[in-house]
Amino acid sequence: MPLSVGGSQNKQTRTKTRPGKQQNAIDLLKSDHQEVNKLFGQFEKSTDGSAQKADIVEKICKALKVHAEIEEEIFYPAARGALEEDDEVVMDEAEVEHSSIKSLVEQLEDAHPGDELFDAKVKVLCEYVTHHVKEEEGQMFPKVKKTDLDLDDLGQELAARKAELMAEQ
């Protein structure tokens, strides 16, 4: 069962208490970003036709769905609870960006290479994701690192939930 994270009480329960050797939350999310970027690169270089493109897009959609879900269920609520009110705009923008990305993912899940606008939708999805990643890694993550969140503990929670979701896909 997914853990619900959010609010100020979690700020108190997720304070830095110990160094950890597992992947912390930000490193895990950055790793996901790199994985999806690599998949977009594979799509761009794809020349083997529709079967290969379909496989790559399926992987992109799965990775983005799982990534968005762990951020929305766990990371964003924890970050909101730890960040100052002035930083709410960064979180709000991230949620709006997720909405646009999820809409394109849904469209691509119902599409096939060769369909009208298929390649264009993948390209626009890549652009949206690239913009979103730039803002997360350049603005949100540095702010979150300065809080008292236990990023190691949060990373464990994200990894466990990600494994559950990947198994369900």
Side chain identity at residue 50, one-letter code: S
Per-residue pLDDT tens over the stretch 10-19: 433 444 434 4
Domain edges within the chain: 21-168
pLDDT at 51: 87
3-state secondary structure 81-129: HHCCHHHHHHHHHHHHHHHHHHHHHHHHHCCCCCCCCHHHHHHHHHHHH
pLDDT of 72 strictly over 70: yes
**Other CB atoms within 10 A of residue 26 CB:** 21
pLDDT at 21: 54
Query: Is the distance from CB of 63 to CB of 32 less than 8 angstroms?
Result: yes
pLDDT at 9: 37
As a whole number of angstroms, the distance between CA 6 and CA 45 comes to: 41
pTM, two decimal places: 0.84
pLDDT at 17: 39
pLDDT category of residue 30 using cuts at 50, 70 and 90? very high
Residues in Cβ contact with 167 at an 8 Å cutoff, skipping those fewer than 6 apart: none
Percentage of the chain beyond pLDDT 70 is 86
pLDDT at 11: 38
